[in-house]
A and B are shown apart, each in its own frame.
Chain A
Amino acid sequence: MNSYHFRQICYERDDESVFGRLNFSLEPGRMLVIEGQNGSGKTTLLRVVAGFLDMAEGFVEVADQTLPIRDFHEYLPLAYAGHKAGFKDDLTVLENLRFLVALHESDPGQIEPTLQRVGLWGWEDNLGRALSAGQRKRLALAAMLLHPARLWLMDEPFANLDGQGIALVNTLMREHLQRDGMLMTTSHGTFPLEYSHMDILRLGESKGDSS
């Protein structure tokens, strides 16, 4: 199992630096929590790691090779759960997941157990637009579980969820770490559960110092 060391990661938008040169590592079985105020670039950093932002600079060291951050998403399969839904409002829960399963070439037989797991079984024939905000989040979680990826990138995983939902996300995260998965997530500061396998990356401090 490899560790991934991110070196000199930076991203500029309109010639203004969103975050400086960051160094951090992702290790099997550990989660990395990105902390920082609103606008400090937490979401942007997740999007850089996911490979959405083509202008990002920096590189990743893994085993004995070095690759540009831009190519990282092609090297390691990763799952991304962001602010956007990631599924279609005009398709039912089941139709959405069937497509994602085909896209990620995972096992269609897992759809039903996964829906039961996230508490959406019984809603599988509802259109995406008919779901509540919390249920939409649960559908996004189901999509993520059906994507066999070692690295999970989760942006605000607890937003819109009720107590049970938060407990569910915590369990899923813990199980993913126990499988030697890696996890990178954002948080506005407070985290409902303490993990012993948790590293923290603080954003925006150097910026605050200089101003």
Chain B
Amino acid sequence: MNLLRILWSLIQRDLRLAWRSRGELLNPVFFLILVIALFPLGVGPEGKLLARIASGTVWVAALLATMLSLDLIFRSDVEDGSMEQMFVSQTPLSWIVLGKVITHWLVTGLPLVLLAPLLAILMHLPQAGLVVLIQSLALGTPVLSLIGSVGVALTVGIRKGGMLLSLLVLPLYVPVLIFGTAAVENAIAGMSPAGPLLILAAMLLFALTLAPLTAAWALKISLS
């Protein structure tokens, strides 16, 4: 069985679907830009204050934007029966979950990483922090998608599962938030950001191995 080819067809299919409903898809990205653009208006244009809170604000906004889009991972496939077809195929369900998480990150996480320089300028983030902000987002946003997939898999069978999903997923997002901002703070203060970044990388590896298996298992329960 050629698992890589199946993964590639799944990602291709989901990217095409994402492109066909791009209006809905861009919502989280717009949300992120709006939050960051409004912050300086709210707290005043004083550069020093903004710079102090820059990394935390960008990370919180990224986290909330990811959460807004989590429902996209499985819901439509469960509702139109595509998940049943994937289920009766001989492909392991965890592999399909992995493909869907990769696509989710490509359409929600990757734009956040690419937008980071713009957000940094809006928030007066000191130069020293920019590269580390991008690095921390690149390592942290896949973790958000992976952890989120478990939460969505558990709540996809429930009609109004939005609130429950937030309650399940937010506590698990806190460590990512803490180490993401810590890395940027370290870099701004002139210390090495390696420690928090490595912890983020460890979290990514941990989530990458366990989240697809857990989400597949949760999905099975949700379907029955």
Residues of A within 8 A of B (CB): 50-55, 73-74, 77-80, 82-91, 95, 98-100, 102-105, 143, 147, 149
Contacts and interface: CB of A to CB of B under 8 A. Distances in A.
Given A82-B84, A103-B89, 17 more contacts: A50-B84, A50-B88, A79-B88, A80-B88, A82-B81, A87-B81, A88-B13, A88-B80, A90-B21, A99-B10, A99-B12, A102-B5, A103-B10, A103-B85, A104-B90, A105-B2, A147-B89
Interface in B2-24: 2, 5-6, 9-10, 12-13, 16-17, 20-21
A90 B12 CA distance: 14
Contacts of A83: 81
B82 A86 contact: yes
A58 to B, nearest CB: 15
B86 interface: yes
Contact of A84 (B20, B80, B88, B91): B80
B85 A80 contact: yes
6 contacts: A84-B81, A87-B82, A87-B85, A91-B16, A103-B85, A105-B90
Contacts of B2: 105
Given A105-B2, A105-B6, A88 B85 contact: no
B220 interface: yes
A78 B88 contact: yes
B220 A54 contact: yes
B6 A86 contact: no
Contact of B82 (A74, A78, A88, A105): A88
Main secondary structure of the interface of B (DSSP, over half): helix
A102 B9 contact: yes
Given A54-B224, A85-B80, A73 B9 contact: no
Main secondary structure of the interface of A (DSSP, over half): loop
Nearest to B81: A84
Contacts of A149: 88
Contacts of B12: 99
Given A86-B82, A88-B17, A55 B89 contact: no
A78 to B, nearest CB: 6
Contact of A103 (B80, B91, B221, B224): B91
Contact of B221 (A51, A54, A104): A54
B74 to A, nearest CB: 13
A84 B2 CA distance: 28
A98 B90 CA distance: 17
A90 B221 CA distance: 27
Interface in B74-96: 76, 79-82, 84-91
B13 A95 contact: yes
B223 interface: yes
A50 B87 CA distance: 9
B80 A89 contact: yes
A99 B77 CA distance: 13
Contacts of A147: 88-89
B191 interface: no
User: B2, B85, B86: which has the most chain A beta carbons within 10 Å?
Assistant: B85
A92 to B, nearest CB: 10
B158 interface: no
